[in-house]
Amino acid sequence: MKKQIILALCIATMGTALLSSCQKESDTLSFRATISTYQSTSKEGKTYVDANRWVNWIDGDTVKINGNDYRVGITGTGSNRIATIDGVTVSENGYYAVYPYNRATATAGTAGWPTQILLPQVQNYKTDANGNQIVKAPMAAYCPAGRATASLDFKNLCALLKIELPASFDITQNEVAYIKVTSSNQPLWGVATISGTDNPTLSSPSISSLYATDNTVTLDCTNNGLHGSDGNPTSSGAAQGVASRGPFYIVLPPATNVSGLTIDIYVFNGTASSNSRRTVHLYSKSGSNAISIAANNIYTTGNLPTTYTEVPDVPYPNLGTGEFSVSRTKKVRFALGNLQWQGSTNTWRFAQNQWTAIGNATGNNTSSNRSTQANWIDLFGYGTSGVNYQPYQTSNSSSDYASSAIQNTSNDWGVNEISNGGNQPNKWRTLTQSEWYYLFNTRSNSNSLHHTGAKVHNVGGMIILPDNFPYNTSPYNSYNWDWKRLTNDQWAQVAALGAIFMPYTYYRTGNTMYSQYYGYYWNSSWSNFNDQPQCMYFTSSGETTDVHEPVYWGMAVRLARDVN
C-alpha cells in the first residue's frame, strides 16, 4: 500500500471566523498533515519508504515555507499519524513549501519558489528505528493565499531508482559500501530551479565547469553499521545495518535518460576491526535504449534493459581492476583518477573520473592562500605529501621541496589517507622511472597496449591497456575502432576490461600555468642529471619516461598499488 502526505493548510484572515482545524496567533498559522491512502501509481516515496511502501514524515523534519524554516512535529501511530507545522507566518502571496529545507535557498519572509535547490552528489544512506531507508527526496507544494481549506499536496520533484541486488550476487558476509549511478549523457547532481505553481517542476541540474563531465551520484552506506545477511544488528550491538541485497533508493533528477546509465555496487568484506582486509566487488547494469524516467515515480532495475557482470575483487574503492606489469616480477593496479587535495579540510581524494584534470582552473592557479582554500588542486611540487613538504607549496625555491628519490619515503603522496581510496595510510605509491619505462617499452606487446593522442569524454590524453587486454581480437582490431576517438560507450567497454586513461595536464611554476596539451606526471625517482627528479611526459605522438624537471614544477600524480 502506498501512502501520501497531505498538508491541510487552514487560512484565516482578519474578520473571518477561525476554522476548527486552524489556529491563528500573532499573524501565524498552523499547518496540519495527515497520511491518507492514495492509489495512483504516480505518487510514491516521500521522506522514507518501508517494506510495505508506506511513506511518512520523520519527526523533526524541517520544511522551508516562503523562505523560512519550520519543524514538522509528529503525533499518533500507524495510519493515524498526524504531522503539524506551527507558527507559519501569514502571507498574502500564497505559500511555497520545499523539502529538504537545507538544500533550498530563498530570501527569508518572501513568497515564491527558492531560486535554487541542490541535488547532492553524495546521498547518505540512513535508516529509521525499524531499518527502513530514509530518502531525502526533494519535493514541493504550493497553495494560494485565498484558498481557506486547500491542502499542500507535496510532489516529488525527482525520481527514485530502486536497486535490489540479484540473488547471484552473494554478499552474505559483506557490507554494501557505495552504490554509484553514472550517466554518459547528462548531469545527475548539481543546482536546479523550481518552476510552476500547482504542478511544480524541476529544471535539469547544472554543475561547475570543473566537473562538467562528472555525471555520477553516490549512495554512501559506510556509516550505517555492520550487519549479517538478514540486515540485523551485529552481536556487538551496532546500529541496524543495511539489508544485504536492498532495496536501496537513489534520488535522480527528472527526465534522466537511462541510455548509457551504469550502476556500480561496491562491497567491502570484513568487520570494523579488520578494515585492512576489505575487498570490493563491483557489478554494472547499463541501459541501452532511450527510457526517460519521470518525476514523482519509483523505477526498479527491472524496468531497465540491463546486463550483469562481476569483476574480480579489488582491495579498495577507486582502484582499477586491470593488472599492469612494471617489472619482470611486479604488477600494479592504478587509481581511477588523478590525485587531488583540498586545503580547507586537509583532504586527499582521487578525481571522480579518470578523465578529470583541474588544470588551469581556480585552485591550481590561485594566488590566494592555498593552504586554507576550499578549491581542490591537482598539480603538486615534487614530494609534497604534506609530511615534510606541503601540497600547497608554490615557491620557486628548490630548498622548499624534496631533494632525493621519494620511493619508500614519507614524501611519496601514497603515504596519505585517500578519502575515497580506502582512507588508510600507506596503501598507495608513485611509480618509479624504471617502472614507467618497463610498462611502455619492455612488457610483452607493450607497443600495442598504450595509445597516446586518445580522447575520452572529449578529453585528450593517453589510454593504457592491462597485460591481458585482447587488443588483437574483434572489435578492438577492427578498422572502425579508433583508439584516438573512442565514443563514450566504447570507452566504457574497454574501461570494464581494466583500461586506464591519463588526461593531459598543465604544469605549474608558481601560479603560472603552461602546456595544456601535454601530460606531466611525477614519478618517484631522482636524476643525477642537473640534480632533478624524474617525470613521465607524453604528447599526442608518444611518451617519454626519462624526463627530469625542477622540483618546484607543479605536476599531476597518478598513484598505484602493488598486486600481491
Q: Where are the domains of the chain?
A: 3-310, 318-564
Q: Does the pTM of the predicted model rise above 0.95?
A: no
Predicted confidence at residue 72, as pLDDT, reads 81
pLDDT tier at 355, thresholds 50, 70, 90: very high
Per-residue model confidence as pLDDT tens digits over 275-294:
333 455 666 666 655 667 77
Cβ-contact 103, 123 below 8 angstroms: no
| 347/121 Cα distance (integer angstroms) | 17
Helix, strand, or coil (residue 107): coil
Average pLDDT over residues 87-115: 75
The pLDDT of residue 238: 34
Does residue 348 surpass a pLDDT of 90? yes
* pLDDT at 314 (0 to 100): 57
Provide the pairing of β-strand 201-202 with 248-252: unpaired
> Is 312 buried (19+), middle (13-18) or exposed (0-12) by CB count in 10 A?
exposed
320: confidence class by pLDDT, cuts 50, 70, 90: confident
User: How many angstroms from the chain centroid is the CA of residue 295?
Assistant: 21
Question: 101, 65, 57: which is closest to 83 by C-alpha?
Answer: 57
What is the structure's pLDDT at 100?
Answer: 83
What mean pLDDT is predicted for residues 3-17?
Answer: 26
Burial call 524-555: b when 16+ CB within 10 Å, e when fewer? bbbbeeeebbbbbbbbbeebebbbbbebbbbb
Distance CA 555, CA 537 (A): 10
Identity of residue 503: P
| pLDDT tens-digit map of 497-550 | 889 999 999 999 998 999 878 999 999 999 977 889 999 999 998 999 889 999
Q: How many CB atoms lie within 10 A of CB 70?
A: 19
| pLDDT tens string 186-205 | 888 888 888 888 788 888 88
Q: 243: buried, middle or exposed (CB in 10 Å: 19+, 13-18, 0-12)?
A: buried
Between these two residues, 85 and 534, which has the higher pLDDT value?
Answer: 534
Q: Alpha-carbon distance 551 to 533, whole Å?
A: 6
How far apart (Å, rounded) are the C-alpha atoms in residues 190 and 192?
A: 7
Unique residue bearing C-alpha cell 554478499: 171
